[in-house]
Amino acid sequence: MPARARAAQPAPAFVLPPLPYAENALEPVISASTMGYHYGKHHRAYIDNLNRLAAGTELAGLPLEKIIAASAERADAVALFNNAAQAWNHAFYWHSLRPGGGGTPPAALRPHIEAAFGSVDACRKSLAAAATGQFGSGWAWLVMDGGKLRVVKTTNADLPLTKGMQPLLTIDVWEHAYYLDYQNRRADYVEAVIDKLLNWDFAAQNAHV
């Protein structure tokens, strides 16, 4: 194809967002190999599919959150919703983790956690129970719902945004998130993420506290 023709082609509406850290930065909890497949293959595929499915529709060119809202629970847009939601979920998940994470939540967030769960430890246990108890693929979330913190879980691509809740952080429990490193030991993966990677600062930012 001539260079002029290539230059005339529009850029994809959505591009794979950069990771907020290197692919090996979460080791040993999450290996660079897992990140290579999870981010480089799975997340990229959701972006590519989203661009393909949205092209030529009335939703083309809309922000990602608007595509999710407009396609949710539409029988004729299941594939579009799944790929848009998974693109959003994964970008949010990467920021829900950080090297040297876990530990104590910021002081501004702790009173909200204690009001909702009784203690930080109880919040951690609630997150772990949701993540390990999710049957099949899905997500565990810490959310703000009506001004109060809650832990919820969603199946497959579903996310709290469509239920009017504000996500604060999430744990991915699709098998591709952990199987290379933990095989069937989902509980070990969840415990390690909560103890060593969870980005409480990101949660506080999303809670606006």
Domain borders along the chain are 31-96, 110-207
Query: pTM to 2 decimals?
Result: 0.93
The reply to whether 31-96 and 110-207 are identical in fold is: no
What tokens were used for 189? 């993966």
β 166-172/148-155 pair status = unpaired
How many other CB atoms are there within 10 angstroms of residue 171's CB atom? 27
Is residue 88 within 8 Å of residue 159, measured between CB atoms? Answer: yes
5: pLDDT strictly greater than 90: no
Architecture of domain 31-96: Orthogonal Bundle (1.10)
Give helix 78-96 / helix 64-71 axis angle, nearest 10°.
140
Give me the pLDDT at residue 105, please. 96
110-207 has which fold? minor pseudopilin epsh fold (3.55.40)
Express each pLDDT in 148-178 by its tens digit.
999 999 999 999 999 999 999 999 999 999 9
pLDDT digits (tens, 9 = 90+) for 23-76: 999 999 999 999 999 999 999 999 999 999 999 999 999 999 999 999 998 999
Q: Are 147 and 180 in contact (CB under 8 A)?
A: no
- Cα(207)–Cα(209) distance, rounded to whole angstroms? 6
Instruction: Give me the pLDDT at residue 30, please.
Output: 98
